[in-house]
Amino acid sequence: MTTVAVVGGGIIGLSLALELRRGGAEVTLLDRSEPGQQASVAAGGLLAPQLEATEPGPFLDACLRSRAMYPRWVAQLEAETGERASYLESGILHAAFDEAELHAAEAWGAWQQAVGLRAPLLSAAEARALCPTLSPKILGALHLPDDHQVDPQRLVPLLVQCCQKAGVTLLRAEARGIAERAGRAIGVDVIGARVTADQVVVAAGPWSGLLEGAPVGPALAAPVRGQLIELRPETPIGPQVLGCPSVYVIPREDGRVLAGSTKEHVGFDTTPQAYNTEALLAAARRVCPALEGAPVQRTWAALRPWARDAMPVLGPGPLEGLWLSTAHFRNGILLAPLSARLMSDAILTGAQDPLLRRFRYERLCS
């Protein structure tokens, strides 16, 4: 039986550990704290390839493939645990408040429709007929009916449970570096000990490049802070996700509403900032005036793992037996099922999907 050590128990490490275990490997997942409690549980949970991609290409292809996997992937987690992950086929309305935003939305919809995706530009009246809580001040909205959402605060605990049930060993330990012998990864060095394994995967989010033996160093996946706020209006809004260039408003099925998020290059500082709370609140109320008066119940910030081209880093590392799965940046929740499948196939069978070649770490070396 192949033994695999996965460093990092965020959504990327958890999903991969589960997939590897289902594929027959003996898996140890190392996290220095409770799994999933960094960016993965802090995320908005948009499953939004069409909102995120700016052009056709491998990034859009990966996001679309993963979006297509979501319903079955979540259904299996829910069936195994008997709990809900709140996967909602909500669609997104991306509103335009002036002519420039309207033209941008039109151009955006045009290229997406040219590649066969549904992205109609709606008039203000059409958009408000679909979602009456959208601001009356909009000039129109791009409708992305196939972009959806999941609640990471529910999803992540299901993944942890499924890993435990499947027999993944969850080890609370801080990895220091990759253990190497004769050009081959042979395990992970933790404080005072070594976890030996045939294959080693680095999936430590924005800390991935800090491990001794990881290639490229900190540039492998730098931290980018994102802050969200949570509101609870008296009357539920949605079900669509509402947005505009400055904010996204995500209605959860239990009546909570999230608004986010910021994108800040401030190192590893996760302190939520009052100025972000104020800016997010004002922007959310502008898109959805029904949020006027709804109190901010909670705010938090976490770190997205970012490579300089904003693409994930997937595939083999510089040593035999060393693998990388990081830098999922703004789309780690969305990309988790695909990332886990491609990586697991490569590690267990040697099958290298063309997307893995596109996302290899070597592109960051120059």
- For ligand FAD, which residue of 7, 27, 96, 158 counts as binding (CB under 6 A)? 7
Q: How far apart are CA 149 and CA 243, in angstroms?
A: 13
Q: How far apart are CA 234 and CA 255, in angstroms?
A: 8
Dihedral Cα 94, 51, 43, 300, nearest 10 deg:
-50
- The 8-class DSSP code of residue 120 comes to P
- For ligand FAD, which residue of 83, 98, 174, 254 counts as binding (CB under 6 A)? 174
228: contact with ligand FAD by CB under 6 A = yes
359: contact with ligand FAD by CB under 6 A = no
For residue 292, the tally of other CB atoms under 10 A from its CB is 10
* Residues 272, 42 contacting (CB under 8 angstroms): no
Q: Which is nearer to ligand FAD, 138 or 334 (CB)?
A: 334
- For ligand FAD, which residue of 290, 326, 355, 356 counts as binding (CB under 6 A)? 326
Strands 46-47, 148-149: pairing is: antiparallel
Q: Show the site string, 44-83: x = touches ligand FAD by CB under 6 A, - = not.
A: xxx-------------------------------------
140: contact with ligand FAD by CB under 6 A = no
- For ligand FAD, which residue of 24, 33, 113, 114 counts as binding (CB under 6 A)? 33
Q: Which is nearer to ligand FAD, 28 or 128 (CB)?
A: 28
Q: Which is nearer to ligand FAD, 35 or 140 (CB)?
A: 35
In the range 283-312, which residues lie near ligand FAD by CB under 6 A?
Answer: 302, 304-305
Exposure string (b/e) for 191-227, b if CB count within 10 Å is 16 or more? eeeebebbbbbbbbbbbbbbbebbbbeeebbbbbbbb
8: contact with ligand FAD by CB under 6 A = yes
Across the beta sheet with 222-231, the strand order is: 121-123, 140-144, 92-96, 241-244, 247-251, 257-260, 222-231, 296-306
Q: Show the site string, 246-275: x = touches ligand FAD by CB under 6 A, - = not.
A: --------------xx--------------
Residue with the two structure tokens 């706020």: 229
- For ligand FAD, which residue of 4, 6, 9, 162 counts as binding (CB under 6 A)? 9
Largest separation between any pair of C-alpha atoms in the chain: 67
Q: Tell me the window of 117-125, 137-145, 179-187, 325-333 that interacts with ligand FAD (CB under 6 A).
A: 325-333
In the range 106-135, which residues lie near ligand FAD by CB under 6 A?
Answer: none
Q: Tell me the window of 85-93, 102-110, 322-330, 347-355 that interacts with ligand FAD (CB under 6 A).
A: 322-330
- Which residues does 304 contact at the CB level (< 8 Å), separation at least 6? 39, 206, 223, 224, 225, 226, 328, 329, 330, 332
Q: How far apart are CA 222 and CA 348, in angstroms?
A: 28
The residues binding ligand FAD (CB under 6 A) are 7-13, 30-33, 35, 38-40, 42-46, 174-175, 203-205, 207, 211, 226, 228, 260-261, 302, 304-305, 326, 328-334
